[in-house]
Structure 1
Amino acid sequence: MGLLRDWSVRTRLTWVASIVTALACVGVSALVFMGAHSLAVAQRIQDIILADLHVSHMIKLRRLTHMIPDQDISAVQVLDETGRIIATTRNMAGRELMPSFTPPDTKAVGHTLTCSSPGFPDDCVHVVVMRHYRDTGNLLIYGADPTIPWFVHPALFALLTATALTLVGITAYGTYRVVNRTLAPVDALRAELAEITVSDLSRRVPLPPHRDELRGLAETVNQTLDRLQQAVERQRRFASDASHDLRSPITAMRAQVEDALANRDDADWSKTAEAMTGSLDRLQAIVSDLLVIARLDSEERVTRDYIDLTELVRGETGRRSRGKRLVADLRPGVIVSGDRLQLARLLTNLLDNGERHAASTVTVRLRHEGGDAVMEVIDDGEGIRPEHREVVFQRFTRLAAGREKDVQGTGLGLAIAREIAQRHEGTLTIEDSPKGARFVFRMPTLPLPQDRRP
């Protein structure tokens, strides 16, 4: 079995099919031999009985002599009441008696199989004894013929053996051909996959012509390659954008330090430190957001806690500084299942964005809508044009108005918020508003806990 595991699928299936066919042939052959043997034995006994009847008929016609003419069986002996041989076939002349058994008084014919007959010391024979009735005394006619071998006849054995070998050979050849043709698309798929590298993810595996399981496998592989290509391209864009955004504060700090070093006597080191602190703040914000993005991209399992979203929003809004007026319209009893820290980060990012662009007021609304919790963060700023409503959720995307209002922004806040929403089986979109931008977050709710129901 260990050797079989090391073979290819084609070889294993061919061997299995061949062994099963061989076992089936052995079983069928055994049944054929058993049936043929039974028929042959019945025919052999019938031949012995006919020979005994022929001798009985000769006795009745008074044509029996001491030497019985050769019959179609091996031997015949005729005994009188005293057990004396009065007639025999030529090949039994001078030999001992056949087995001395007689049929029951109620029967005229008896049969036995013996391997210890004095007349046939080296063979097993069928012996049939027939009682011949006459007035001067009954006679016993013994007829004997060798047993039938288990294979009945060499020709039958040769025929069944040749048939079995032919069937096994045809099965092995046919199985190998069928499996080989069946697995040909798999070989093509494997060969194409072996050629695909990270540097060229545009290639796809060929689709088999028939709509079967193999075509489904090829389609699944191509879909996986599509997702892989998208992920790789996203990572490349991410690396490119990250390197660009990280280079900006580092370049600014380097320029400030070099300028100060070039004018050591006239340099205002206090202002230089303040300027570098701003660049470091931006660098720290970028690194922090990159770490969050990395954790989200790792697709680690979201912690599922029972969260009162109303209390979470009330707590987060209550801790914020009052740079802009914050209005909260919160419906009680909005319960969700999710990660408290990630949901708090989503809300914080939306509030930061709202305060950055609001003229004076940021409004937070929370309510039930069907089976969803709906949270809206609305600012009274200039708003976002419809063609930019999806662009702002891309990583490192900052519109011109955003750069002017906050040079320290990273362009990752809204991208992180949407990632968190999607990981909680929710959505984050920008919808129409009479004034400003209106961010809408939706996610499934849970029933209110028993102890909090009115």
Structure 2
Amino acid sequence: MRAARHRVRAALRRLTGRPRAAALIRRLAPRSVRTRTTLAACASVAVVLLATSAAVLLLLRGNLERTVETGGRAQAKDVARLAATGRLPQPVTLGPGADFIQVVDAHGKVVAQSQNLTGRPALTPTGTHNGHRTYNLDALGEEHHQRVTTVTTTSPTGQVVTIHVGASLRTADAAEDVTAAALAALSALLISTVGVLTWRTTGRALRPVEAIRAEVAAIGDRALDRRVPAPRSDDEIARLADTMNAMLERLEAAGTRQRQFIADASHELRSPLAVLRTQLEVALTHPDPEVRDTLVAGALQDTERLQALSADLLLLARLDATGQSRPTEPVDLVELARSTVAVRSTDSHPVTLHAPDDVTVPGNALWIGRLLTNLLDNAQRHARHTVTVRLSADPENGDAVLDVTNDGPPIAPADQEKIFERFARLDDARSRDDGGTGLGLPIALDIAALHGGTITVLDTPDGTTFRTRLSTSTRV
């Protein structure tokens, strides 16, 4: 049944041809913004001019007809006065603007009329139009419009007579035709002027947009240093160009970081892989079992380093893919710090924790734990005797403050930003045994940024402090 209904609907669509008509309309519709804007402006002006012209013509027609009717009624009243005094001439003299005059009695008999109606029967109404009686004037041989005014009076003999005065509308018709022609010519001129001005103005306004489009189309993945032309005007197009250039700057910076990251990762992976291969090749051919065991142990240590480096690279890629989507689960920092410090009882330097009863922030407990772990690993590598962790809440804005302090040598001010770069390690941290992967602090910084926080390096009396601020708001 469902298939049959589909076939019936398809047959009906083929018969009506609506999809074809819609497709034809879509093909004929202008695709250019310039053309659509020009057509819309011309159509809008045409509608306004049409309505205005119709109103002008109606007012003009009504005014002219009232003037003609006033003149005809004045002549009808003059004839009525003559009829009322018994001085009605035969034939009746036509006044200015009058085409005919006819006087009939109550029985429809012509009493008097103008000379051009001699021998004509009495006029009889054929209906009404716009509140006026209509008459069939074809028998009079008049081909133009007329307005017939009717006045009734009583003759000296007591007979009721009706005076019909036909006033010519030639002047009104001519004035209406001339006005209509003038309005049509003026409308055509105005529409053409609006079309030309809109076409040129839109083209000039869209020229920077086309330049921006062409430049963006020419920018490839290897030409991110190029920028789109920014117009001098302070308008939407200029702001669009500024936004596009800012986006290109971010893309260029991201591409530079990606290339640098790939180069550094390749370098960091090449060295342990080369050492690992050398150790395995020597262990494979060396005859002394003790030497082979030493070489295999070193290879295992390098394998663990490679495994840690791979895990850090995967975490960095995951953080980069997360973007600005901040986790919002409540995290108890005090409990997290206590559990993290408790499992590090075997560290080379003891860790002292100072924390209040309750500090909670929205975030991801696993990632914040990794942030604290990385800071503790860095502190353990550089501490002389102790590592201190202090957790508090900022009284001004309520942000959580996490300080990890080691009593090792201070960090030079020029290196306080460099240590947060990926694969960047200071000279005293480059040994295979003590040095890290060069990704611990960058990972901690990315996790802090994801949680709306920052990490700064401070020189305090207790040593070097890595201060982490985590926002308690859910907004990044």
- What interval of TM-score do these two structures reach, taking the shorter chain for normalisation? 0.7 to 0.9
Task: Name the CA distance, whole Å, in 1 between partners of 2:255 and 2:88.
Answer: 109
Deviations 1:108-166 (A, max 9, x none): xxx94315468469887532223455424554322124668889622111011111111
In structure 2, what is the equivalent of residue 40 of structure 1?
64
SS at match of 2:322: coil
Mark the CA change 1:412 to 1:146 in structure 2 (over 3 Å): closer, same or farther: same
Mark the CA change 1:229 to 1:170 in structure 2 (over 3 Å): closer, same or farther: same
Deviations 1:240-272 (A, max 9, x none): 1011101111111222233345x3656754333
- 2:72 equivalent to 1:52: no
TM-score when normalising by structure 1: 0.87
The offset of 1:340, in angstroms, is: 0.5
Map 1:202-281 onto structure 2 (within 5 A). Answer: 202-261=225-284, 263=285, 265=287, 268-281=291-304
Which structure carries more helix by proportion?
A: 2
**Contact 2:100 2:166 survives alignment (8 Å):** yes
Deviations 1:61-95 (A, max 9, x none): 95823475686322221234653324333442333
Task: Name the CA distance, whole Å, in 2 between partners of 1:385 and 1:347.
Answer: 23
Sequence identity of aligned pairs in percent? 35
Task: Name the CA distance, whole Å, in 1 between partners of 2:29 and 2:260.
Answer: 45
In structure 1, what is the equivalent of residue 218 of structure 2?
195
SS at match of 1:64: coil
In structure 2, what is the equivalent of residue 337 of structure 1?
362
**Contact 2:231 2:237 survives alignment (8 Å):** yes
In structure 2, what is the equivalent of residue 397 of structure 1?
424
Map 1:81-230 onto structure 2 (within 5 A). Answer: 82-99=107-124, 112-116=132-136, 119=139, 125-131=146-152, 133-138=154-159, 139-145=161-167, 153-230=176-253
SS at match of 1:438: strand
Task: Name the CA distance, whole Å, in 2 between partners of 1:81 and 1:197.
Answer: 99
Task: Name the CA distance, whole Å, in 2 between partners of 1:32 and 1:379.
Answer: 91
In structure 1, what is the equivalent of residue 4 of structure 2?
none
Instruction: Pick which of 183-192 and 392-401 moved more.
Output: 183-192
TM-score when normalising by structure 2: 0.83
Which residue identity does 2:440 align to in structure 1? G
Task: Name the CA distance, whole Å, in 2 between partners of 1:47 and 1:443.
Answer: 93
Q: CA RMSD in A?
A: 2.9
Which residue identity does 1:205 align to in structure 2? V
Task: Name the CA distance, whole Å, in 1 between partners of 2:427 and 2:111.
Answer: 134
Mark the CA change 1:53 to 1:318 in structure 2 (over 3 Å): closer, same or farther: same
In structure 2, what is the equivalent of residue 366 of structure 1?
391
- 2:320 equivalent to 1:302: no
Which residue identity does 1:220 align to in structure 2? T
Correspondent of 2:344 among 317, 320, 330 = 320
Mark the CA change 1:54 to 1:192 in structure 2 (over 3 Å): closer, same or farther: same
SS at match of 2:400: strand
Task: Name the CA distance, whole Å, in 2 between partners of 1:444 and 1:96.
Answer: 104
Task: Name the CA distance, whole Å, in 2 between partners of 1:42 and 1:70.
Answer: 17
Task: Name the CA distance, whole Å, in 2 between partners of 1:388 and 1:378.
Answer: 17
The offset of 1:330, in angstroms, is: 1.6
Correspondent of 1:285 among 304, 308, 324 = 308
Deviations 1:408-435 (A, max 9, x none): 6210001111111111111111101235
SS at match of 1:11: helix
In structure 2, what is the equivalent of residue 449 of structure 1?
none
SS at match of 2:58: helix
Alignment: residue pair count: 436
The offset of 1:393, in angstroms, is: 0.7
- 2:379 equivalent to 1:354: yes
- 2:102 equivalent to 1:77: yes
**Contact 1:396 1:412 survives alignment (8 Å):** yes
The offset of 1:52, in angstroms, is: 3.1
Instruction: Pick which of 313-322 and 63-72 moved more.
Output: 63-72
Mark the CA change 1:398 to 1:80 in structure 2 (over 3 Å): closer, same or farther: closer
Task: Name the CA distance, whole Å, in 2 between partners of 1:396 and 1:115.
Answer: 105
Correspondent of 1:426 among 453, 456, 473 = 453
Map 1:14-25 onto structure 2 (within 5 A). Answer: 14-25=38-49
- 2:86 equivalent to 1:65: no
**Contact 1:334 1:445 survives alignment (8 Å):** no
**Contact 1:115 1:123 survives alignment (8 Å):** no
The offset of 1:285, in angstroms, is: 1.0
Task: Name the CA distance, whole Å, in 1 between partners of 2:125 and 2:320.
Answer: 98
Mark the CA change 1:115 to 1:141 in structure 2 (over 3 Å): closer, same or farther: closer
Instruction: Pick which of 403-412 and 370-379 moved more.
Output: 403-412
